[in-house]
Amino acid sequence: MKEMSQRFSRKDFLKAAGVTGALGVSGSLLGARMAQGQDSGMEGMDHGSPKASEAMTDLHMGNQTVGDVDLSRFDPTEFLRSFDYGEEKREGGRTVREYELTAEAAEIEVAPGIMYPAWTYNGQVPGPTLRATEGDRLRVVFKNKDAHPHTIHFHGIHPANMDGVFEQVAPGREFVYEFDAEPFGSHIYHCHTMPLKKHIEKGLYGAFIIDPREGRPEADEMVMVMNGFDTNFDQSNELYAVNTVAFHHQRHPVKIKKNELIRVYISNLLEFDFQNSMHIHANFFDYYPTGTKLEPSEFTDTKLFGQGERGIMEFRYKFPGQFMFHAHVSEFAELGWMGLFEVEE
């Protein structure tokens, strides 16, 4: 019953927000795709949405929600392939990378017309994707311009006083984290101030990539941070996405080239829900848990992620056309965690 009432409250929220129709269409799409041959899978159909065939036509037009977010403020397509290597310096014969992260409150648009009062690193959620090579010295200048204390807790190997846990950075203060980049892999960073789930869910997190010294094979690389937003502050998420904006990559498919190696640094920063997942259609991927080994552990098409879990996915598309990728937690997919790869010749 709890699950049922939670679902209704989520849908009521969407009605209130005036996007029920749009989300309903997507829900029916997913129902049509994932529950073929079952009589109870058409959950999205109860909003007067079109038949699956019509919905499929809409899908190929790539437009499932009414309008779009203001992409001049944050464009998930741009974020996807943006990497912040910091300011590179040489000190004592080694590479030092200096980054600046500032905690600040910002209104972010998580679906067309739906603003969320976030706590951010550098005004965006997720924060910038920090990138370095194993063995680099990292210096992260952290300024707290928010009204609450915050920190940056990096996943990786570093001294206790650089762990972003005991040294809380008060409003108006600054802290410099300095440590060596290790081990190589697909990592994350996030605030570690209590209550933790609040500080993370509000948006203080990002991806942190450490490349192996020998590098990885040439690929089209992208970052997908799976996240969600508790837009009515009831301790459960109303919207889900990769890189914040619900259904963004359904409106704006991720363009990739046929047969080209695609590498996705994927992480799960969802709060409140214990599990998330990633499924790609009509294909399989090599999966490298945490990216700390150069050999994949698995060849699969669906991967389950606990909170804070992340890794690297590698795949190539053999056929041109549009292919869905989404959480195989169907409810999350219906509430925004849904996108398309557009494979071009």
* Piece of the chain touching Cu ion by CB under 5 A; list 83-91, 143-151, 241-249, 329-337: 143-151
Asked if 193 touches Cu ion (CB under 5 A), the answer is: yes
Distance in Å from the first CA to the final CA of the chain: 49
CB of 106 to Cu ion, least distance (A): 14
What are φ and ψ of residue 226, in 5° steps? -80, 125
What whole-number distance in Å separates Cα of residue 158 and Cα of residue 160?
7
Site for Cu ion in 250-309 (CB under 5 A): none
What whole-number distance in Å separates Cα of residue 166 and Cα of residue 163?
8
The smaller minimum CB distance to Cu ion, of residues 51 and 197, is found at 197
* Piece of the chain touching Cu ion by CB under 5 A; list 19-27, 66-74, 199-207, 211-219: 199-207
The smaller minimum CB distance to Cu ion, of residues 119 and 247, is found at 119
What whole-number distance in Å separates Cα of residue 65 and Cα of residue 175?
42
What whole-number distance in Å separates Cα of residue 159 and Cα of residue 234?
37
The smaller minimum CB distance to Cu ion, of residues 272 and 299, is found at 272
DSSP β-bridge partners for residue 286:
299, 314
What whole-number distance in Å separates Cα of residue 112 and Cα of residue 342?
22
Strand 262-268 versus strand 220-229 pairing type: parallel
**336 neighbors 329 (Cβ within 8 angstroms):** no
Q: Which of 10, 33, 97, 150 binds Cu ion (CB under 5 A)?
A: 150
CB of 118 to Cu ion, least distance (A): 11
Q: Is 76 helix (H, G, I), strand (E, B) or coil?
A: helix
The smaller minimum CB distance to Cu ion, of residues 7 and 198, is found at 198
* Piece of the chain touching Cu ion by CB under 5 A; list 57-65, 85-93, 203-211, 240-248: 203-211
Asked if 190 touches Cu ion (CB under 5 A), the answer is: no
The smaller minimum CB distance to Cu ion, of residues 177 and 315, is found at 177
**Which residue's entry shows tokens 């600040």?**
104
Q: Which of 118, 191, 224, 262 binds Cu ion (CB under 5 A)?
A: 191
The smaller minimum CB distance to Cu ion, of residues 19 and 101, is found at 101
Asked if 152 touches Cu ion (CB under 5 A), the answer is: no
Q: Is 204 helix (H, G, I), strand (E, B) or coil?
A: coil
Q: Which of 33, 97, 199, 251 binds Cu ion (CB under 5 A)?
A: 199
Which candidate, 162, 94, 89, 90, places its Cα nearest to that of 134?
94
For Cu ion (CB under 5 A), the number of binding residues is 5
CB of 321 to Cu ion, least distance (A): 43
CB of 187 to Cu ion, least distance (A): 18
Tokens representing 160 are: 């206790």
The smaller minimum CB distance to Cu ion, of residues 191 and 207, is found at 191
* Piece of the chain touching Cu ion by CB under 5 A; list 88-96, 156-164, 201-209, 317-325: 201-209
Cβ within 8 Å of residue 10, ≥6 positions away? 236, 238, 335
* Piece of the chain touching Cu ion by CB under 5 A; list 32-40, 54-62, 147-155, 260-268: 147-155
Cite the DSSP H helix spans in the chain. 2-17, 20-34, 52-61, 76-80, 196-201, 248-251, 330-334
The smaller minimum CB distance to Cu ion, of residues 150 and 310, is found at 150
Chain contacts with Cu ion (rule: CB under 5 A):
150, 191, 193, 199, 204
